[in-house]
Amino acid sequence: MVADRLRAETDAILCLTTSGIPGRNLPLSERLASLELRPELASFDAGSITTPAGVFLNSPESLDALARRALETGVKLEFEYFDAGMVATCLRYLEPGLLRPPLHFQFVLGSPFGMPAAAAALV
């Protein structure tokens, strides 16, 4: 298995995706499968994105399930933000304890489907 080999031969931090494929929304069970490999990090896309291939769906129910399963498996989440609203979505998971600080943010800038790659977008 690739994850086992990487662990045996490197000290790399594994960050595995839970995202699926835009335009081809995978079943939740497939998206959560990477958590069973116990990577150090896994992706958490805190909202849906409209692309030419279709809507890349991240429903509240799937985000809830991902947050809960990450807690159960001890996998730290890294939060991918394509727009500012996704930050607010993520922060709502803190109060009920579904996310635990410190939070790791990845701002995806310059994508044709989200925030432009400009300082003003972050402000």
CATH number of the domain bearing residue 21: 3.20.20.70
Residue 43 CA to residue 67 CA, distance in Å, equals 10
82 in helix, strand or coil?
coil
Tokens (6 digits) for 107: 């701002």
> Is 4 a residue whose pLDDT tops 80?
yes
| Distance set, CA 69 to CA 18, 24, 34 (Å) | 11, 22, 11
Domain count, the chain: 1
Domain housing 47: 2-122
Element (H, E) at 59: none
**What is the strand order of the sheet 104-107 is part of?**
15-16, 41-45, 76-81, 104-107
Which whole number is the average pLDDT over 15-29? 83
Residue 95 CA to residue 79 CA, distance in Å, equals 16
Which whole number is the average pLDDT over 33-60? 91
> Is 20 a residue whose pLDDT tops 80?
no
Q: Which of 97, 98, 120 is nearest to 107 (CA)?
A: 120
Average pLDDT of the chain is 90
Which residues, including other chains, have CB under 8 Å from residue 106's CB and lie 6 or more apart? 78, 79, 80, 81
Q: What is the DSSP letter of 12?
A: P
**Does residue 85 contact residue 47 with C-beta atoms inside 8 Å?**
yes
Per-residue pLDDT of 76-112, as tens digits, reads: 999 998 888 899 999 999 989 999 899 999 989 998 8
- pTM of the predicted model, to two decimals? 0.87
